[in-house]
Amino acid sequence: MNKKKAAIIAVCILIVAIIGVIFIGEQRKNKSNKESYNFEVVKVESNKEEEKAPKEEEKKDEVKISLVENTKGIPVLYYHSIGDDGNGDELVVPTDKFKEQMKYLKDNNYHTLSIDEFYGYVKNGDKVPENAILITFDDGYKNNYENAYPVLKEYGFKATIFVITDMVDKVGLYLTTDQIKELSKNNIDIGSHTVNHENLSSTSRENTKKTLKDSKEFLEKIVGKPVTSIAYPFGVYDAATINSVKEAGYTIGFSTDMGWAKGKTDEYKVKRVYVNATKDMDVFKERLSNPNYK
């Protein structure tokens, strides 16, 4: 009998021991799962924090440019060639001088305009940023791409190049089709400077219409968008020229008349500020600060 009781007691103890082991194992498992779960939550939250950080940083980098009424006018710079092989030619502005001028614009918070933004100002008096400016180049020299474009891109500047279309891809000094395409995709507007740099006031009416139409269509095929601006060769134009320009579908015309462009004035007689190799930085600064410069 004592042996039977002892056996029963032993069995009971064994059962209790087994239950205890199972219970402790479950507790440890639950604890482990809980800790793992908490770790995952913390990890996810941490990732969320990391995701938020760049967005907050982006917001800090965003600079809102306020637009203002401009009654003083906007200087429209016009260059030709940018390089170091001018040999005394005033049309060829040395690369270092051009860099110095662009750095001055950047350091003094000038805001470059696209041709559409500028048109809105001249035509309708649209608001523009403080210290608004338009940068233009006549003729379409290859060194506009090689020497000017990298500087403009470095500062995030917009500009407009007026191209003589018969020179494209044919003469080594001028822009290629591929260069024009790249420029057009990167803040550089493309305008017409006619097919062969014709004097639009002295050529026949028929020739004027043809060169305006042909140059416009040629450039539009390259850039894949409307070409709406023209710079008159030699800066020469008259009433008949302007009528032909309008009929050809251009919305704005640039002269070489000296001075700043004003809002709500004739958009086919835009004045410009000539920049050449003979003028120093003091002259450059004065022409940017005084609409009535001499």
Residue 60: pLDDT band by 50, 70, 90 thresholds?
A: very low
Continuous segment of H or E residues that includes residue 270: strand 270-274
The reply to whether 106 falls in a domain is yes
Across the range 51-65, mean pLDDT stands at 51
Across the range 13-22, mean pLDDT stands at 56
Helix (H, G, I), strand (E, B) or coil at 143: helix
- pLDDT value at 142 more than 70: yes
Give the predicted TM-score (pTM) of the model: 0.79
Indicate the Cα dihedral angle 31, 35, 37, 38, nearest 10°. 140
- pLDDT value at 37 more than 60: no
The reply to whether 279 falls in a domain is yes
Give the single-character DSSP code of 146. I
Q: Which is more confident, 57 or 169?
A: 169
Angle at 222 between CA 216 and CA 226, to 5 degrees: 45
The reply to whether 293 falls in a domain is no
% of the chain with per-residue pLDDT over 90: 75
Count of domains for the chain: 1
Structural domain containing residue 203: 73-288
Sign of CA dihedral 146, 148, 153, 155: positive
Picking from 234, 237, 274, the residue whose alpha carbon sits closest to that of residue 253 is 237
Picking from 85, 107, 102, the residue whose alpha carbon sits closest to that of residue 94 is 85
Cβ-count burial 172-186 (b if 16+ within 10 Å, e if not): eebbeeebbeebbee
- In this prediction, residue 51 carries a pLDDT of 45
- In this prediction, residue 139 carries a pLDDT of 98
The enclosing domain of 163 has a CATH number of 3.20.20.370
- pLDDT value at 243 more than 60: yes
- In this prediction, residue 19 carries a pLDDT of 57
The reply to whether 17 falls in a domain is no
- In this prediction, residue 138 carries a pLDDT of 99
Across the range 264-271, mean pLDDT stands at 98
DSSP string, 81-104: EESS--TT-TTEE-HHHHHHHHHH
Across the range 102-127, mean pLDDT stands at 99
